[in-house]
Amino acid sequence: MREIRIFELEHGEPAETWRLAQAMQLHVSEGELWLTLGGDADDYWLRAGESMRLEAGARVYLSAGREGARFMLALGGASASEGRGAVAPSPGVQITSGFAGRLAQELRERAERLQWGARAA
């Protein structure tokens, strides 16, 4: 049997910080979720349909993209506990590095929001 919990985060809410007591499978069902792990220099952007396995004991930091995010955490079961390693992102998950990655993502979002474009000189 598996327990599944559903969470929603709105854009602009403070980042959530969790310490995982057991391995979990995280799956984003709507929106975009920023995730980083204590001791990991990378940041992860998961979009609707993408998943990531998280190991027991991990310190996880989560925040929503500009459209908010709805995601599920599955506790127990084979998909949450198989394999070893700190993190296993699904194919297509965008990985960025620390502060530089967050800055790049913020600039991309502002460019889209303000409709900036490249102009020929």
Task: Answer whether residue 120 is part of any domain.
Answer: no
The tens place of each residue's pLDDT in the chain, 121 residues long, gives: 678 889 999 998 988 888 988 888 999 999 999 999 988 888 899 999 999 999 889 999 999 999 999 999 888 544 433 433 334 444 445 544 455 555 555 656 665 666 555 444 3
Give the CATH number for residue 44. Answer: 2.60.120.10
Task: Answer whether residue 119 is part of any domain.
Answer: no
Task: Answer whether residue 79 is part of any domain.
Answer: yes
pTM of the model: 0.62
Domain that holds residue 101: 3-114
Task: Answer whether residue 9 is part of any domain.
Answer: yes
Give the number of domains in the chain. Answer: 1
HEC secondary structure over the chain: CCEEEEEEECCCCCCEEEECCCCEEEEEEEEEEEEEECCCCEEEEEECCCEEEECCCCEEEEEEEEEEEEEEEEECCHHHHCCCCCEEECCCCEEEEHHHHHHHHHHHHHHHHHCCCCCCC
